[in-house]
Structure 1
């Protein structure tokens, strides 16, 4: 045992809050189980938990209803698209390995990337997300942004992995989690390379406390890691100061948009870990955060979309808007110069 007096990263809102104590204390397990219930469809009313940045019960408008406002705010700026994967581009499913995106969604994202730099930011392993999306022209940030790679341009590609020193110990924790959860029906441990996920979507509710204690018993020995909760999942990550918000900032900086007023980032995500990116956009005072949720929640995002089908509808409208804008620009240029030029496709 490395450390009995651990510091636990925990809060009911899913945001990080450092609380001293044991991972296996009765209070800690009870808090986790409460969170597990809050993310369950059968307890959906308890899922509207306030974050510390805004008043409770705030009603956020639909991004589809406010589409014109969003595009007006982005005029004259470069839109940069950031999107989570599970629950945003693909539906949430019982088996994480079956979270496939539809062909229609893939075609939509491909068109989107022809007009705007586009990144997928996920808690999943980067290679796993790529195997689902299969679009080489995108930027991929796996493991909650700790594994970033961009498309090759001129023989060079962005590659950033700030947690490589943790790889050996992550594998050690992964193996320990496999051992303690093997007798819990429905529990799945996923190695996302730079972080770990323990999925409990298929675990019966009467086993949640037991599973929480199993996970906590492993983390007692590893103070280098923190635990947060997402949608039906425990997320175990190194304690470095890196998250989806930092990944968003890194990609903007890498493409020359750091501290730039001429960029308009749009981040779409459905999980608690996406709040880090929404918060960055609020602090920047530019761009739009869009939460994917069927119910109103307190969030750092500015707008809501209900499900992946609405995400696809929003992305299609964005593509159509950009295409029309480019055509108008070409027509105006032709009129001013008195020449005939082909319209963009």
Structure 2
């Protein structure tokens, strides 16, 4: 990420950020309140929901959808409203706010690229439009680039084009480049054959976790460089996310290649973010455990996670996935990012 400098002083605040602050304050005033949620809890149908939203900022977001309206439509319209407001805020933002918002969108871009790659590698004949419909709107880039990712040919030329598309034409290409360099023994990847071998031989879950780790470390360093309340608040949020990744990767590695004694301190350890409440002592300890009881013993030293670990159900998964989104999410084995963030708040 380019050097964007630190926020200005109070003397210049209104010049650069006054409009953005007013916009955010207005959006915040449009949040549903306790009374709104109380009324929504008593609704018996989607039509009741629409009626109870008439006096809120959500009054018109379903006006173009004919009845009967499915819950999935409500969810989609809410997401579209959020993305529209986010993009409007981004359009008027100056540095460093612009880069901060770009970091938020980058998280969803990584998720979208992984979704397209997963779908294409599993089913080369899949309709690109179906995959693109599943992408998060906040992480979308131009349609031509998205189509090229999920429609590449299984050939040297196809992988060369994929390499160029992901690394050059997407805003998150630097994370993919760093990953590929790491996979190819710390040297710059030049051949399409190298890219092909990485994508075909390395589990997609490893790619996912490495990209998320690189992204989180980059975002954290950016927030710390800004200092002030941004560093304080976002440092706490991103640290909780990093801890969630570390715990989830550890749990999901059990009964896999990554839990072999020779891999715990190397391959598995390399997937842990290099910051967070657990870093470095807790991370080092988790890199050595081989079962759930070991995880529990490590987390017992951290009050913010001890109670969560005692209460959270542990559910099996077949991969190392940790979910996505700055606000947490994802499934997996044991506590999720969302659960950890809730506990930290």
**If the TM-score is normalised by the length of the shorter chain, which range does it land in?**
under 0.3
Q: TM-score scaled to structure 2, two decimals?
A: 0.24
The structure richer in helix per residue is 2
The structure richer in strand per residue is 1
Q: TM-score scaled to structure 1, two decimals?
A: 0.24
